[in-house]
Amino acid sequence: MHPAPSVIIFTTLSGLGFGLLAFLGLGMPSVTGWVAFVFYAIAYALAVGGLLASTFHLGHPERAWKAFSQWRTSWLSREGCAAVAALVIMAIYAAGAVFLETDWRFLGALGAVLSIGTVFTTAMIYTQLKTIPRWHSPLTPMVFLSFAIAGGALLAGRESLAPWLLALAGAIQLIYWAKTGKPLAQSGTDIGTATGLGDRGAVRAFEPPHTGSNYLLREFTYVLGRKHALKLRVIGFALAFALPIALMVIPFSGLMLKHLMAGLAVLLHIAGVACLRWLFFAEAEHVVGLYYGKR
């Protein structure tokens, strides 16, 4: 799949933003006043910024409001509804915390559930696609959810919890890679079933339908060199999980240094998740490539 920057930015930042909102909704940390304002500003910048980035890949962003209507069948529509619900509920909860110094517990818990639910709906947009065997697995929502929760813990400053959650997310990423080695080859779909000619002999794409490129080839047949894939996996894993964990468990002396290192851990984690998300798209193979002999 073509790794579109808008979608990578969206899933990376929104995942972190909703992860942070979930922790704030659960009162971890239980903040009020100016401190709360800063926390919520960061969470909303990430969540809303990501959502805005996602509209850049639309052909008609001005019609995006229509996407709230089809929640009965469409995960993309459900994502839109869940995101707006989470943002509205958490805004009310945040207003209470910032301006009234109150903690509306029920509202916060509801907002936390909706925030995590939004990340789940995002994951299901990809998970539902039978046409992309690598994504069509329960591991996909586990990756999205564990990343968002770990990133949220990191941003929320949960010093004792975050290293464990980062380790868990890293482990799930490793399992995702291990279990989805050659998903298209193992899916039972090949050029033989695509053309219906497979039981007559070995099928080979002889001539493409056209000499130039087209939308399908640009969108679905992105091919990533295997050598680069391995390097990027190592880089992404180190940045997203290994280095932030190290920065959090190494005892630094002094509050200032500790805060600096936590900030650095957040930045490294964001860069790492963006790298891993890029791989999530770039490594995914769409079955339509079979028709073009590209698989």
Smallest gap from Cβ 115 to other proteins, in A, equals 20
- 4 CB-contact burial (10 Å; exposed 0-12 / middle 13-18 / buried 19+): middle
* Tokens matching residue 57: 């890949």
CB 241 within 8 A of CB 167: yes
Among positions 84, 168, 205, 282, the unique one binding other proteins when judged by CB under 8 A: 205
Binding of other proteins by 66 (CB under 8 A): yes
Phi, psi torsion values for 72, nearest 5 degrees: -70, -30
Binding of other proteins by 125 (CB under 8 A): yes
Amino acid at 286: H
Please tell me the distance from the alpha carbon of residue 117 to that of residue 83, in angstroms, as a whole number: 8
Please report, as residue ranges, which positions from 223 to 282 form the binding site for other proteins (by CB under 8 A).
none
Question: What is the contact mask toward other proteins in residues 5 to 44, using x (rule: CB under 8 A)?
Answer: ----------------------------------------
Binding of other proteins by 64 (CB under 8 A): yes
| Secondary structure class of 246 (helix, strand, coil) | helix
Binding of other proteins by 138 (CB under 8 A): no
- CB neighbour list of residue 118: distance below 8 Å, 6 or more residues apart: 14, 18, 79, 82, 83, 86
Binding of other proteins by 137 (CB under 8 A): no
Smallest gap from Cβ 183 to other proteins, in A, equals 14
Binding of other proteins by 53 (CB under 8 A): no
Binding site for other proteins (CB under 8 A): 1, 57-61, 63-64, 66-70, 72-77, 80, 125, 128-132, 188-189, 191, 193-197, 200-216, 219-220, 286-288, 291-292
